Chain A
Amino acid sequence: MDTLLLARLQFATTTSIHFLFVVVTLGLVTLLVGIQTAWVVTGNPKYERLTRFWGQLYVINYVLGIATGIVMEFQFGLNWSGLSRYVGNVFGAPLAIETLVAFFLESTFLGMWIFGWHRLRRGVHLALLWGVALTAYASAFWIMVANSWLQNPVGYEVRDGIAHLTDFPALLTNPSLGMAFGHVVSAALLVGGMLMAAVSAYHLIRRTPDFALFRASLRIGLVTAALAITLVQGFGFAQFGPVGAVQPTKFGSGADADALIAEWTARFGPGDYTPPVLANVGLGFMILIGLGLGALWLLLPLLWRDWVIRLRFPLWLLLLGLPLPFVAVILGWIAREVGRQPWVAYGLLPVDQAVSPVAAPVMLASLIGFSLLLGTLAVTNWTLIARHAARGADDPALGRPPGHPADLRPEPAFA
């Protein structure tokens, strides 16, 4: 196997795992902001319990978001040193801004939020969560700026074979950015809402004593998911125009695509400039899932008099439908990323020029090592999330009053 293929496989693996976690992070934190704000405003203890329960799942999920995110950040330099060499002047800027402006503060705030229960004033504690959420959105925005630049390089000029930044605002008005950012953010809300609805449905199916609590989060999750799926569909279809205009080869062939391929052949020499078909097959499935999830709207009238709970089958639908948005977001990213092949930066830098001159065995060891490591951690993390979700909202460790016996309980000798 050659280094290029291995490096691409590693990028695909890491990115996919990363996104499965950050999409939940972004969706859940938005809902948590609403719930904790409701708690602080109304003083209703139900909202405190909801914040602790969903906050705990959010915090567990966050761990793998960071772990995979750090690998992603290093991977650019480790495996794609050509990327930083030729286009680092432009592509590096939004990534640097993301780490400094967004992620740095997001994690600092979250550490204080986790340990700030019973220690900080309620308003300050709430403000920290708002800070976490705002910086999470800022983070998503700058990452999308960077990714959109790879899809459609703008605001640069090439001197001595190296791209230099000439027009930063052009990166922010990139046609492949706006709708895509809306699409990703609403997909995150959809995933967050679906997760909340599905976990609540599980408890309502099992008739957990916490009926009022899970009824509330079922309603929050379902309404959010229904609103979000419409936004997902809207932003998704709105993307085809601008993306097709700047990346004619992405969605199959046409006169524009043929003209562009002819131009590339003249400039870069003969080669295969069409992306693999795989990208568009996935896109078709994603659109099917997206249209299918539109059926969430059919469940909204059933919120009246709790028919959604009394009929029971809607609860099963919500529970069993949980994997669907996760599958859809991965297929969506495959369509976007595989669709720009064979380029790292579309029409500017081919992937084979960007890969690091590292020997294939080293790259293979890195691929296997990190896939195993992140794969194991991801499965462990999901198991922990599932267990904590199933355990219910009795006494989450998050926000437990200090000196609580559960923290000091000795291990039973026979366990």
Chain B
Amino acid sequence: MELAWYALLGLFFATYLVLGGYDYGVGLALAGDADPRRRRTALNAVGPFFLGNEVWLVAAVGILFGAFPLLEGELLAGFYPAVLGALAGVILVTAGVQLRSRPARERIRARWDRVVVVGSALAALGWGALLAGLLQGVPLHADGHVAGLGHLFTPFAAAAALATVALVAVHGAAFLALRLPAADAAGAARLTRRLVPVALAAVGAATVLGLLSDRVRAAVQRPALGVLLPVALVAALLVARAALHRRRPGLAFAATSVALALPVALVGAALWPFVLVSTVDPGASLTVADAAASEPTLRLLGWLVLPLAPALLGFQLMCWWVFRGRIDGRAPVYW
């Protein structure tokens, strides 16, 4: 029962990283484009999906609160700086994207676009640092509380946060290569292929720092899965690059999506049966089973969520289906 809920939590958060990830990647891409028309086209390529993407985060936190209340408190409060950064980023992006085209003046729109760029970077940094923080363990004491915040500021967490920014940037560019009008898509594909080596370098740096870190080596319960993570990331990035070379943007986007979803699954699996590994007192580590809500709560949520899951997914699929394909001159423009 706990495992099922843990998997569902991971599924929602991973889907958020994939879907929200291309929002932020497109947001980062705005920084490199001086042409107002192209910036607006990029945002409207995300257009109809934008609101449906970030709901996966809200739902993931909802599941976290409902099914893992103990974890919710310690995770969010224990990683305060990372969560604060990610949260500020999410808010800046959500406000920036939706409001940027309401003023008519191009200069003000450009200012909003900078807000989106900063927000996208903050969100990617924050979530990357959070995942790294889980891998390197936390100073969880026997009283059940995480002490202090300094534990988060390590070279590994910084490198992982930067690697997440790079992955998100590749992912967003791959999304644009898939969705922009044919004339603009070539530029996006070039950008993706140019970003892949950067992402490879960032993933490599994070891997080396992770392997060197005593805390990561001690916290990871299944080293094989821990090593598989960077290998899979590198493979996904190379597939994306090769796919774009062969003009298969769909495959490239699938590969970058895998690159964003995998870290969630592998971090969860590598720490299992724990979710928060204590660096100070092995006995204080929090297992998934201990973190879960009690039986009646999980059963209630199960009865409510199971029948609804097809509807949630169905309406998202409807959105993807209705607005599938490349945007063109007939696509609605609102953002």
Are the C-beta atoms of B300 and A114 separated by less than 8 Å?
no
Known: A108-B315, A115-B323, A411-B105. A99 touches B72 (CB 8 A): no
A241 to chain B: which residues have CB within 8 Å?
A: none
- Interface residue A116 (Cβ < 8 Å from any Cβ of B): yes
Which among A103, A166, A370 is the interface contact of B296 at CB below 8 angstroms?
A166
Shortest beta-carbon distance from B220 to chain A in Å: 25
- Interface residue A41 (Cβ < 8 Å from any Cβ of B): no
Interface positions of B from 62 to 92, Cβ below 8 Å from A: 62-67, 69-70, 72-77, 80-81, 83-84, 87-88, 90-92
Are the C-beta atoms of A92 and B329 separated by less than 8 Å?
no
Can you name the residue of chain A whose Cβ is closest to the Cβ of B40? A407
Bound state CA distance, A96 and B92, in angstroms? 24
Are the C-beta atoms of B58 and A103 separated by less than 8 Å?
yes
B300 to chain A: which residues have CB within 8 Å?
A: 93, 165, 168
Bound state CA distance, A370 and B75, in angstroms? 20
Bound state CA distance, A138 and B102, in angstroms? 29
Counting chain A CB atoms within 10 Å of each CB, the highest count among B54, B73, B91 belongs to: B73
Contact with B along A354-389 (1 / 0, CB 8 A): 001111001000100110011001001100100010
- Interface residue A309 (Cβ < 8 Å from any Cβ of B): no
Interface size class of B (residues with CB under 8 A): 35 or more
Contact with A along B138-156 (1 / 0, CB 8 A): 0000001101010000000
Bound state CA distance, A375 and B67, in angstroms? 32
Known: A73-B58, A100-B305. A89 touches B294 (CB 8 A): yes
Shortest beta-carbon distance from B87 to chain A in Å: 5
- Interface residue A97 (Cβ < 8 Å from any Cβ of B): yes
Are the C-beta atoms of A63 and B95 separated by less than 8 Å?
yes
- Interface residue A83 (Cβ < 8 Å from any Cβ of B): yes
Can you name the residue of chain B whose Cβ is closest to the Cβ of A83? B73
Q: Which of B42-50, B162-170, B228-236, B271-279 contacts A (4 or more CB under 8 A)?
A: B42-50
- Interface residue B106 (Cβ < 8 Å from any Cβ of A): yes
A-B contact count (CB 8 A): 239
Are the C-beta atoms of A88 and B145 separated by less than 8 Å?
no
Can you name the residue of chain A whose Cβ is closest to the Cβ of B75? A77
Shortest beta-carbon distance from A280 to chain B in Å: 32
- Interface residue B59 (Cβ < 8 Å from any Cβ of A): yes
Are the C-beta atoms of B144 and A397 separated by less than 8 Å?
no
Are the C-beta atoms of B66 and A93 separated by less than 8 Å?
yes
A77 to chain B: which residues have CB within 8 Å?
A: 61, 64-65, 72-73, 75-77, 83
Can you name the residue of chain B whose Cβ is closest to the Cβ of A76? B65
B297 to chain A: which residues have CB within 8 Å?
A: 89-90, 92-93, 164-165
Known: A105-B315, A356-B77. A112 touches B296 (CB 8 A): no
Shortest beta-carbon distance from B125 to chain A in Å: 16
Supplied contacts A97-B66, A101-B308, A111-B49, 8 more A-B pairs, CB within 8 Å: A59-B98, A63-B99, A89-B296, A97-B62, A117-B332, A119-B322, A166-B296, A381-B99
A residues apposed to B, CB below 8 Å: 59-60, 62-64, 66-67, 69-71, 73-74, 76-85, 88-93, 95-101, 103-105, 107-112, 114-120, 162, 164-166, 168, 356-359, 362, 366, 369-370, 373-374, 377, 380-381, 384, 388, 397-398, 400, 402-403, 407-408, 411, 415
Ordered by A's residue number, 6 sampled pairs between the chains whose C-beta atoms are within 8 Å are A92-B297, A93-B293, A95-B65, A107-B51, A111-B50, A370-B88
